[in-house]
Amino acid sequence: MNPLKEYPMKEKIEAALNKVRPQLRLDGGDVQLVEAGADGVVKVKLTGACGSCPMSQLTLKMGIERILKKEVPEVKEVIAV
């Protein structure tokens, strides 16, 4: 069972992530969608420079999570895995 296929908002989540990717890439990082659950919890993986950056939690919560919640109201929380 692939959780990404189970959640119909996957396309909206990817579109929202595409809005933050350019900024992440400027700093040598990126974000990958790992899982989007029907419960509204989205799991992402920060890659590149973002994976080891001490500010990654701030980027995750104040950047990625904020944009995802705005663009996809079904998103309740974003966590890094």
Spans of all domains in the chain: 3-80
| Cα separations in angstroms, 12 against 36, 68, 74 | 11, 9, 10
- Residue-level pLDDT at 51: 84
Residue type, 10: K
Strands 41-48 and 29-36, how do they pair? antiparallel
Query: CATH for 3-80?
Result: 3.30.300.130
What global pTM score does this model have?
Answer: 0.84
Q: What DSSP designation does 26 have?
A: H
| Per-residue model confidence as pLDDT tens for the chain (81 residues) | 455 444 568 999 999 999 999 999 998 999 999 999 889 999 999 999 888 888 888 889 989 999 999 999 999 999 999
User: What is the C-alpha separation between 12 and 48, in angstroms, rounded?
Assistant: 23
